[in-house]
Amino acid sequence: MNGLRAFEVAGRHLNFRVAADELGVTQAAIAQQVRGLESALGVRLFERGARGVSFTSAGRGYHQAVSDAFDRLREATGSLRPESSKVTVSATPTFTSRWLIPNLPAFTSKNPDIDFRILSTERVLSFHSDGIDLAIRQGKPPFGAQFDVDLLFRRSNIAVAAPELVGRKTLPLANCDLTQLPLLHDTHNLWPEFLRLRCAGTDAHKQRNLHFSQTSLSIEAALAGQGVALVSRFLVARDLELGRLVQVVDGMLKGHNDFYLLARHAGERQPAVDIVRQWLLSQSDPQL
């Protein structure tokens, strides 16, 4: 069955790498499973060339039959367990805690029939094997020809802190006045670049620093008055609006990996998935 499934997906894309992405395995595993199937059948199913793979005459006809069989299996399973209202979204822990959860009540109150499920992880998951309908990824296109991709938010980083940390200082501070405040770092480590561009000669390593494994933790530390965090503006927009955080210095640092929404192509999506996707796009702001 593994060989048949690898053959069906590889034949659908005529690309072993894309098939590996869909099934959540390595390209080498796809090639090995297809070779095993060919050996068991005693028939070559693909022609391998420098530009990729193509069907043999036997492989083309066999793929149609195998695809039809998998379609019937999916339809039979779907009739037993209809889940058209279940939507699974994969997002990073920071995006989940700082944007998705605070904005979710407005959506769920208007769409109570949609069973909204969140997979919060830093790992890159597989749409197929992990049952993902939508994914919010931080990175650079292209993400794969099998996806519809939309920009949600740009990574525009600003320096923020709790009002009590800056006290009665006049805001915005001069860039070099940051040297008087503790800096909160996350795994993106953007402070050295920010200080190099805005305050030449300043060494972030010589300041009082706190380091965190996630951006959400550095934001929580900023809210607690422990230092200045350098984070994407959209993640702290609500805190700025409510006065829980203030922008300490003017300007922003553009990041290299923006936030994108990934979905299967329109013909492969359930209606409930389209509802969630349209809501996410309506809330996006590519200028932030």
65 token code pair: 């039959």
Average pLDDT in the 22-48 region? 93
d(CA 219, CA 161) in angstroms, rounded, equals 9
H/E stretch holding 34 reads helix 27-41
Instruction: Report the pLDDT value the prediction gives residue 145, as an integer from 0 to 100.
Output: 81
DSSP 3-state of 206: helix
Instruction: Report the pLDDT value the prediction gives residue 206, as an integer from 0 to 100.
Output: 59
What band does 207 get if pLDDT is binned at 50, 70 and 90? low
Q: Which of 12-26, 217-231, 274-288 has the highest mean pLDDT?
A: 217-231
270 token code pair: 């359930």
195 token code pair: 């200080």
233 has a pLDDT exceeding 90 = yes
Share of the chain above pLDDT 90, in %: 60
Instruction: Report the pLDDT value the prediction gives residue 36, as an integer from 0 to 100.
Output: 95
Average pLDDT in the 79-84 region? 59
For residue range 208-231, list pLDDT tens digits in order. Answer: 789 999 999 999 999 999 999 999
124 has a pLDDT exceeding 70 = no
Q: Which domains does the chain have, with CATH numbers?
A: 2-80 (1.10.10.10), 86-155+257-283 (3.40.190.10), 156-254 (3.40.190.10)
Contact 222, 160 (CB under 8 A): yes
Contact 212, 186 (CB under 8 A): yes
Evaluated on CA atoms 33, 35, 40, 45, the torsion sign reads positive
Average pLDDT in the 160-164 region? 96
Q: For residue 272, how many other CB atoms are within 10 A of its CB?
A: 19
199 has a pLDDT exceeding 90 = no
What band does 167 get if pLDDT is binned at 50, 70 and 90? confident
117 has a pLDDT exceeding 80 = yes
For residue 130, the 8-state DSSP code is T
